[in-house]
Structure 1
Amino acid sequence: MPELVLWIVVFTALGGVLSAGAAGVFLLLSERVRARLLPPLVSFAIGALLGAAFLGLLPRAIAEVAEVHYITIAVLGGLLGFFVLEKMVIWRHCHSHECEVHGHGPLEGTLFDFDKVRKAAAGKLILIGDGIHNLVDGVLIAAAFLTDIRLGVVTSIAVIAHEIPQELGDLAVLLHSGYTRARAFTYNVLTGLTTVVGGVVAYFSLSLAQGVVPYVLAIAAASFLYIAVADLIPGLHKRPEFSATVQQVALIGLGVGVILVTRALH
């Protein structure tokens, strides 16, 4: 269905390139402004991820199968799988404020722990890893669109929301590794295009194996849940003051609300 392919291409491009472009805009801002904007963005991303998982992906995955426990097993396996992968890889896309206290370099105060990654290898590692990550995001977005166009839009919003802080961290690593701002931005956008590749390949493969789609949605939900709970939420506890907590809860609610509104649109 050509129209569906167009939806997938457009939204995978938005998911990959828009997030990289938005992160690039942050390079133009002062460190003080970045420090003020990132925490609200992370809180909003948590809400978008949780909303997409619980209100979009999981309900549709469950609706597509006769035995619900197969979906719950897929989610559990996905959570454990992402934990193992995060343990195995020597670099980590870090979203939490715990990482901020270790930052050294052009974007000190952003979202990466430079002490954990060797400067010489960090740039290449982050490009390879981000390319793979975006490829998988493209598969997840395509699977959602194959189920329902509105679900595809919801999934794309969640991907964009959590990718912006991550892409900002990637830019920080590239700059710290010696890349110029222009090269760092260009490479970051190019790795974002692998989202489109993943989406198109997934469309042609998953459309031939529709029975697999609910389980891909379940794994996508597991991915969103893991990022929100393991990577993002712990960082919010670094700001325990009441005013910060109120702001965090409100922005998480806003993220969920955006998903609700998107789901309600026909």
Structure 2
Amino acid sequence: MEPLLGFLMIFFIGLLSLIGLFMISMKERTLDRILFILIAFATGTILASALFDLVPESIHHLEELNAGGSNIALSLVFTFVIIGFVVFFIIERFIYWFHGHAHEKEDKYVCYETITGDNDLAINKGRNIKSFALLNLIGDGLH
């Protein structure tokens, strides 16, 4: 019964990923409001998973390795948690340094290299798969 329930849950979660298809047809203003809420929800989910599951599990495993009685496991884990917060804060600040709202010229030509190698008007042809799409599919498959 458990394998069937596991399969059904994975199938249900896979169906939830199709919500992105509906977001393509939304107005940009509505999409911006919804994306703000969804990003906040995703961030909270990742933080809750890390703080309530991964951190206690890592403390437990380090205490097993360090059965001598010292509290090095607790201080080591929380040191790495704080270092992680600081590193991501610095990365976020660094990214905003290069963010700007300057408008570029509209007559800029864009051309992407495709799998077949012909990059002449590859965007307008619509039949070639872009390199990024291929890398994305490979990454999702490995994940």
Higher helix proportion, which one? Answer: 1
TM-score normalized by structure 2? 0.47
TM-score normalized by structure 1? 0.28
Please identify the structure whose Cα radius of gyration is greater.
2
Q: Relative contact order: is structure 1 or structure 2 higher (C-alpha 8 Å, sep ≥ 6)? A: 1
